[in-house]
């Protein structure tokens, strides 16, 4: 069988395998919850204008409490470090620090931001740390653990710590995929012994842990499989080296419990149809990739650690780096309809530079008309005001009608939006913190 035949067969298989439909009751539950708080959101926009970021710190504090309580049922003493890259708004840092969370930073800039807003414990991950960033980490050695991404990074951290004569705690980041783009992160498992050997020569770098990260986890399968692989390698270490492992960081990537909500163009079969035919089915068809409950993650990962790690190391400390799971529901985007060009097309006052990417060509989030509430969903192109056709918020809205002046809300946009926002054509909006008197401008951080 030639390559063409294999491609045709694979395409046929993709078209035959339909993605799961998103149940209407799940959409309705979210829409009803927003309408139940309709007056609060309307008053906020009427007082502050639009477009607008709306942040609800109570939500993120509740998610932090739920994450900690769920995981510590199965992994007592687990320490959570919020992945700052998922949303770096200062109010989120302050809220999570008050809940006992640490902060996972991936740059010197994030480190400074976290310190400025109350972080008292941090882990510093990410590839390509500069000497300047490593110096900042060493200067804050009482608050930070550096997760070393390579042997070269260990050498530079050792040099800098030796120059300052300051001991810095460090862990080794392991790559979970030795092929393709994910090779960028960490070192292969097979090189773990080499890094231990190199670290043992350092007087000021205290190697005391191991980290790994798998992403887009709709289930704990990838995490548990890697824990098993890691256990096999740890079993080959000498007792002295095993005793140096004080913590294992199991990373983040936990998907929120509602799963990933998709438009037809976001599904494998929809992408194929669009590439070949240039079009997909009606955007009123909604799909999702289901995510398992957090309790399932915690239970499965806890059992894998007991079976494969603690038998080698004893019950050491476990870190986790939740990001999206914590911040997804804490921020909403409010827009005002500026122009109704056709019955099925409106233009709003906010562009997708607010979120930094063309998210809603593939991802689905209900666009909710707060001005004219209604549970029915109507086909309508909801465009932003940027000079690009990719500036779209959705292909439908919930409400009785849609007219110029109507206030729209796109809920649960807290993850990988604020951090990616960009000054492109239109300025960035202000942010209102519900429950706070202050209004924070984006440039303030």
Q: What pLDDT digit, counting tens, does each position of 48-92 carry?
A: 999 999 999 999 999 999 999 999 999 999 999 999 999 999 999
Q: Which residues pair with 283 in a beta bridge?
A: none
Q: What is the pLDDT of residue 1?
A: 65
What gap in Å lies between CA 127 and CA 134, rounded to an integer? 12
Residue 280: its pLDDT value, please?
66
Q: Give residues with Cβ within 8 angstroms of 64, minimum separation 6.
A: 80, 82, 95, 96, 99, 101, 326
The pLDDT, as a whole number, for residue 4 is 78
pLDDT computed for residue 273 by the predictor: 82
Closest CA to 315 of 75, 121, 81, 80: 75
pLDDT, tens digit, 9 for 90 and up, residues 106-116: 999 999 999 99
pTM: 0.94
Confidence at residue 151, expressed as pLDDT on a 0 to 100 scale: 95
The pLDDT, as a whole number, for residue 444 is 41
Measure the CA–CA gap between 332 and 41, rounded to whole angstroms. Answer: 10
DSSP state of 372: S
Neighbours of 445 (CB within 10 A): 15
Residue 399 has, within 13 A of its CA and on its CB side, a CA count of: 21
The fold adopted by the segment(s) 33-54+328-436 is Lyase, Ornithine Decarboxylase; Chain A, domain 1 (2.40.37)
Q: What is the pLDDT of residues 225-280, one digit of tens each?
A: 999 999 999 999 999 999 999 999 999 999 998 999 999 988 888 888 887 777 76
Share of the chain above pLDDT 90, in %: 86
CATH code of the domain occupying 57-257+291-327: 3.20.20.10
Kindly report, residue by residue over 316-357, the tens digit of the pLDDT: 999 999 999 999 999 999 999 999 999 999 999 999 999 999
- C-alpha 241/C-alpha 313 separation (Å) is 10
Checking if the pLDDT of 435 tops 90, the result is: no
Q: Can you give the pLDDT at residue 257? A: 87
State percent of the chain over pLDDT 70. Answer: 97
Contact 402, 367 (CB under 8 A): no
Report CA-CA distances (Å) from 241 to 115, 209, 235, 309, 367: 32, 11, 10, 14, 54
């Amino acid at each position: 069988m030639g390559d063409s035949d294999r491609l045709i067969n694979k395409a046929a298989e993709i078209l035959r395998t339909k993605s799961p439909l998103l149940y209407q009751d799940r959409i309705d539950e979210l829409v009803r919850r927003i309408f139940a708080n309709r007056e609060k959101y309307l008053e906020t926009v009427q007082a502050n204008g639009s477009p607008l970021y709306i942040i609800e710190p109570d939500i993120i504090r509740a998610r932090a409490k739920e994450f900690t309580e769920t995981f510590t049922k199965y992994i007592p003493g687990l320490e959570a470090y919020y992945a700052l890259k998922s949303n770096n708004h200062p109010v989120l840092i302050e809220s999570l620090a008050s809940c006992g969370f640490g902060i996972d930073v991936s740059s010197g800039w994030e480190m400074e931001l976290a310190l400025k807003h109350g972080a008292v414990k941090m882990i510093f991950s990410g590839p390509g740390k500069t000497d300047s960033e490593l110096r900042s980490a060493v200067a804050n050695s009482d608050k930070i653990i550096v997760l070393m991404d390579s042997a070269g990074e260990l050498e530079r951290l050792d040099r800098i710590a030796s120059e300052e004569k300051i001991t810095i705690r460090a862990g080794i980041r392991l790559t979970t995929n030795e092929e393709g783009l994910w090779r960028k992160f960490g070192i292969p498992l097979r090189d773990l012994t080499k890094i231990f050997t190199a670290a043992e020569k350092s007087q000021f770098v205290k190697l005391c842990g191991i980290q790994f990260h798998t992403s887009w986890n709709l289930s704990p399968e990838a995490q548990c499989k890697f824990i098993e692989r890691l256990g096999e390698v740890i079993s080959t270490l000498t007792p002295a080296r095993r005793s140096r492992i004080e913590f294992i960081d199991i990373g983040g990537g936990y998907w929120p419990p509602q799963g990933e909500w998709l438009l037809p163009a976001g599904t494998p079969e929809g992408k194929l149809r669009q590439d070949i035919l240039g079009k997909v089915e009606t955007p009123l068809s909604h799909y999702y990739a289901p995510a398992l409950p957090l309790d399932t993650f915690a239970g499965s990962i806890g059992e894998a650690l007991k079976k494969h790690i603690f038998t080698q190391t004893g019950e050491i400390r476990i870190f986790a780096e939740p990001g999206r799971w914590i911040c997804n529901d804490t921020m909403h985007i409010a827009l005002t309809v500026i122009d109704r060009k056709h019955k099925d097309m409106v233009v709003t006052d906010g562009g997708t530079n607010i979120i930094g990417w063309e998210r809603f060509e593939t991802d689905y989030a209900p666009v909710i008309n707060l001005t004219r509430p209604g549970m029915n969903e109507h086909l309508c192109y909801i465009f932003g005001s940027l000079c690009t056709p990719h500036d779209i918020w959705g292909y439908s809205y919930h409400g009785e009608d849609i007219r110029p002046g109507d206030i729209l809300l796109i809920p649960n946009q807290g993850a990988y939006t604020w951090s990616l926002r960009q000054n492109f054509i239109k300025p960035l909006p202000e942010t209102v913190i519900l429950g706070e008197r202050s209004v924070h401008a984006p440039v303030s951080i």
